[in-house]
Every structure is written in C-alpha cells, then in structure tokens.
Structure 1
C-alpha cells in the first residue's frame, strides 16, 4: 500500500522486484487489498500493472512513521481551534488506537497550544523528530541544550558555533503558520520564545527542572502578548481611541482587534491597540477619514510626530 500510494502506476514486474516477491504473490496481495475495500485497478500492456483509485468508501489507511506523526500533529492542532475541534479530537483518538505502541508513545508526548492569528508570511517547515524531542523535554521537565541558528532552505537550522543554548521548555505553540517553543532562557534569565525550525537539540540534556508560572497565566496569553510587544499582559502595550468622521458601518469590516462605537449617522469612535504610539497613530490613518478627539495625550503626540515626518516627506 505504501508503494501504491507513492506513484500513480506500478508495473507488476517492478512492484514484484521492489517487494522481492513473485508476480503471483503480488496478484494475491492485490486481491486481499481489494477485499479490504481498496480500489486497485489492473491495466494491461507491455508494462501491465496496478493503479490505486479513489473509492466510494474510506478503506483502512496506511501511513509511514513520518506521515503518522504529521497527521497526529495536524489533528491535535485542529482539536484546539479552527471550528473542527470535536471531529478532530475523535479522529485523533481513532488514529491513536490503531498505531503501534512505539508510535503511540511518541505521539502521546505532544501537547500543542494553537494561537489564532493572521498568517503574516511563509510558513516554516519543521522536522517532526525535533518537534517530538522538544515535546518529550516539555513533558519530562528536562533542561534542553541546543544550537539556535537561521533556518536554511530545507527548514533545518544552520550550524551554530559556540556553546549550546540552555532553556527550561514549558510548551509548544503554533502561531501564524510557525512553531514556537516557550521556555525559560537560562542564559538570559528570562522567558523566551524560540522558533522550532531554528532549534537543533543536542544529544544530552541538562538535568530536570521545576516548572515556573507562565506570565499571563497560560501559553496562549503569553505568546499573544509577546507578538503584540507586551510583557505585562495579553493586551497591547499602547491603546487609544479617536473619533472618525465616517459611518461606523464603513469601519467595522476592517477592525479585527478593536471596538467601534457609532456616534450619529456619520461619526464613530474607534478603539485600537498597537506595539507603539506611532504605529497606533498610523493605523488610524488607514481609514482615510478626518480624526477628532484623540485619546490619550501620548496618541496626540504621536499624531504630531507623524504629521511632521509626512510633511517633510511631501516636500
């Protein structure tokens, strides 16, 4: 089945040669697969052989180790967000039940937190073996020793010279198409998020550790805050509001993380957050409407700074 799924057509002689069996045994095995529900069609000719077609019912599926791990990761991610939580959880349970014990043990170490966010760029592929190694370290509360570098075109990290980085891993997070390890960075004595595609674990761990309390209360809140530029909570570090001279109905479709309060037929107050006051002021400009009553004072100062810069640019 693994070979039949790998390419469209398999000449019978080549299939027998790859499996090191006779053509008669190939025919017998194909008949047994058909009895299981697989639609395997025979084609004639000088290179007559077999083709796996889609059927009307879902027969038993066959995955190699890498595919099984990838499937479990995808199902666990879907089970914590995306609208398919119940179906994904049931599918994950079904897949786990039929896995061999060696694979089931590896899958059971995975504990994934998915943070909903807009995908801002290309996704970064990760090595399933690295993901499972990190998951095991999180579960066993083992200090990680690893190299940390820039990802290569293949997704693996470049060789990083120097001593190994050391961290206490607390969880794996999927955010905007990338994987992150949330850990207490022993070299910096602070919390850090490490991109998994840049991590290359070393063979020996650095002993065990006692779990710490994650800022914000949980992994999702911590990561959301970090990507907003905040270190003290889940919210944005800079939050403010303005009155826009435009109808609320024209603004609401373009405000994801914020509030819109109608004020009459052609005015509304909009509250937004950002990682800096200058960025926040610029974000209000995208609505292409006159701005009144900016609050707080820091936001007004940011508008003034932007006005000077844009005036200089226009000259």
Structure 2
C-alpha cells in the first residue's frame, strides 16, 4: 500500500497533466477509493494547493491558478537522466545557454540529497574530445551506476567491481572482484569510462562502465594519487586525454597504423593529441596509430584529416578504403 505522502505527490502530478479529473478517474489512477481521494484533496488544500472541485454527477477536480508541482516529482534515476541530458545539450550551439539555465533551476528545487548526488556527478565527470561520432549502438549505463560511482569519486572511497562482464548476464564473475580507487568519470564517444587505480598492482585503467558490475559493500577511503604524465599532454590531471590515449592504443575493437604524408606536427595540429599516437618518420611523413569500434569510423576519421595517407594495417581497412575510393570515383562520373 502506498503512503499518504506518495499518494499526494501522485495526485498532484495527475492534476497538472490535464484540465480536470473525475473522482472515480483519480481513484482508479492512484489505486484507492473515491473517499480516500476526497480526503487527499482536502490534505492538498491544507498544504496550500488550490484544488477546485465541482459536485454532482459530472463533478470533477482541477488544479486552480497558482498551483504548481512541489520540489521534486522525480525519483533518483529520473533526476540523473534529466541532468545528464541537460548537460549534454549544454554543448549544443543554440540551446547551450537554455540547457545550462534549466539545469541550474532544476538543481535549485531538488531535495538536498538529490542535489548532492547531481553535484557529485557533475564534479566527477569530464567530457572527452568531440571527434567523429560513432555509428555503433550506444551501450547502456544505469543511472544507479553513475550515482554510486560519482559518489565514490567525491568521497574518495574504493569500489569493488567485476570488469569485462556481459551486460546481458545477471551472473557474478567467478573470479574475485577488483578493488579500485575511482578518480574521474569520462564521457567520450557515446561511452562512459571510469578512470581508476587497481589497488592490487597500482595500475591506472580506464574501465567501461557498461562492462562493470558493482559489488557492495564498497571500500574504505583512500589517499588520492597523481595521474602519471602523458606524452604530448600538458595538464597533469587530464583524465579525458588518458582515457582516449589508452583506448586508442588498446581499447578499440579495431586498431590501425596509417602513414600520413605530412610531418608529425601538422598531423597533431589536425587532431586532438589524445585521439592516437603520432610518430615521426622523417620531415615529410608520420605514422598515426589510432582505432575505433569499426573500420568505417576509422576511414571517416582519416578522411577528415584532408591529407594523403596510406593504410599500413589492418588489411581489412585497406580493402575498405579501396571500396570507398571506387564508390567515390563512380559518384563523379
């Protein structure tokens, strides 16, 4: 059975969705009797909400002028979903200011507990470089996972988790869980990564949050470490650069080595340095080591360099580029 406060919130939410409701309709939607609806309406009026009513066979209830939702008719996961969506829109030209303003207003009317959770998510999350968007399906990461992980980053508490799990499986991994120190959540290329240190060996790792399963209880507090220096990266705490370099070198489904007809400095100037490693061959040539989740995405990305190039590996990428070349040639006839 629902509590009185839960019923009042549900009733108030219903009254805001359309001009009027009959008593039996509200009773049916809230799962109580008509008499309970009348009592709940009286409670809302006592709280200051102007619920108006008409009597008789066609009697109904409506929310009068000045009525509004209390803060906040969203559960924890819904609040995180809205905040994540607004933060994503904050980077879109044309709606960026409105999105940021809406997010500030949303946070102002949230209960303190939810506001702390969203603040933790905001403070613990950084965006990776905006490069070519992926055409692959976006893996799902539960709002509950984001809330727990961001709170652990904020509180400097270790997490116990299984890594590399099948998202569709409900079985726990047979191996002991990892214990990690969480440092930052990185959102990049439609994926969420946790930058963490594995306590057992002190190694820094980017963990895909769609492939981990948290195991409570979580651990004790830890003393923060300093992110290791990264070639070509000047900021000592650039967690996004760390993730992208690690993924480009080992975390993608497809890895590639491409000879570019330009010096290394020119190639680096056309990409984010974290997208891949650029190695100088001589004054006129360099090697780009990069990757993606598909051959198609690598081909698109390399084409955007607007430089002559030659695919060294994998052979499948070279074949795909030949197919594209023939297709583009046909398009110009």
* Residue from 154, 157, 171 that aligns with 1:139: 154
Q: What residue is the counterpart of 1:63 in the other structure?
A: 74
Counterpart secondary structure, 1:229 = helix
* Residue from 106, 109, 113 that aligns with 1:102: 113
In the alignment, structure 1 residue 234 sits paired with structure 2 residue 274: yes
1:45 and 1:211 map into 2 onto residues whose CA distance is: 71
1:226 and 1:162 map into 2 onto residues whose CA distance is: 24
1:109 and 1:223 map into 2 onto residues whose CA distance is: 20
How much has 1:208 moved relative to structure 2? 0.3
Q: Provide TM-score, normalisation by structure 2.
A: 0.59
Q: How does 1:105-120 map to 2 (within 5 A)?
A: 105-110=116-121, 111-115=124-128, 116=130, 117-120=132-135
CA contact (8 A) 1:185 1:191 kept: yes
In the alignment, structure 1 residue 166 sits paired with structure 2 residue 205: no
* Residue from 69, 84, 88 that aligns with 1:73: 84
2:316 and 2:276 map into 1 onto residues whose CA distance is: 12
Q: What residue is the counterpart of 2:28 in the other structure?
A: 14
Q: 1:173 to 1:41 in 2, by over 3 A?
A: farther
CA contact (8 A) 1:12 1:26 kept: no
2:244 and 2:209 map into 1 onto residues whose CA distance is: 17
Q: What residue is the counterpart of 1:250 in the other structure?
A: none
Number of residue-to-residue matches in the alignment: 259
2:118 and 2:45 map into 1 onto residues whose CA distance is: 33
Deviations 1:224-283 (A, max 9, x none): 22332279x614347878xxxxxxxxxxxx8545322xxxxxxxx5348x8946466445
How much has 1:31 moved relative to structure 2? 8.4
Q: What residue is the counterpart of 1:264 in the other structure?
A: none
Q: Provide TM-score, normalisation by structure 1.
A: 0.62
Q: 1:18 to 1:107 in 2, by over 3 A?
A: farther
In the alignment, structure 1 residue 259 sits paired with structure 2 residue 275: no
Counterpart secondary structure, 1:158 = coil
Stretches of structure 1 that go unaligned for 5 or more consecutive residues are: 53-57, 242-253, 261-268, 291-315
Q: Which moved more, 1:168-177 or 1:95-104?
A: 168-177
2:145 and 2:119 map into 1 onto residues whose CA distance is: 15
Q: What residue is the counterpart of 1:87 in the other structure?
A: 98
How much has 1:102 moved relative to structure 2? 1.5
RMSD: 4.6
1:226 and 1:18 map into 2 onto residues whose CA distance is: 56
Q: What residue is the counterpart of 2:144 in the other structure?
A: 129
Deviations 1:257-310 (A, max 9, x none): 5322xxxxxxxx5348x89464664454222289xxxxxxxxxxxxxxxxxxxx
How much has 1:132 moved relative to structure 2? 1.5
How much has 1:184 moved relative to structure 2? 2.1
Stretches of structure 2 that go unaligned for 5 or more consecutive residues are: 1-8, 252-272, 280-284, 287-298, 329-333
Q: 1:5 to 1:140 in 2, by over 3 A?
A: same
How much has 1:95 moved relative to structure 2? 0.8
How much has 1:200 moved relative to structure 2? 1.0
How much has 1:73 moved relative to structure 2? 2.6
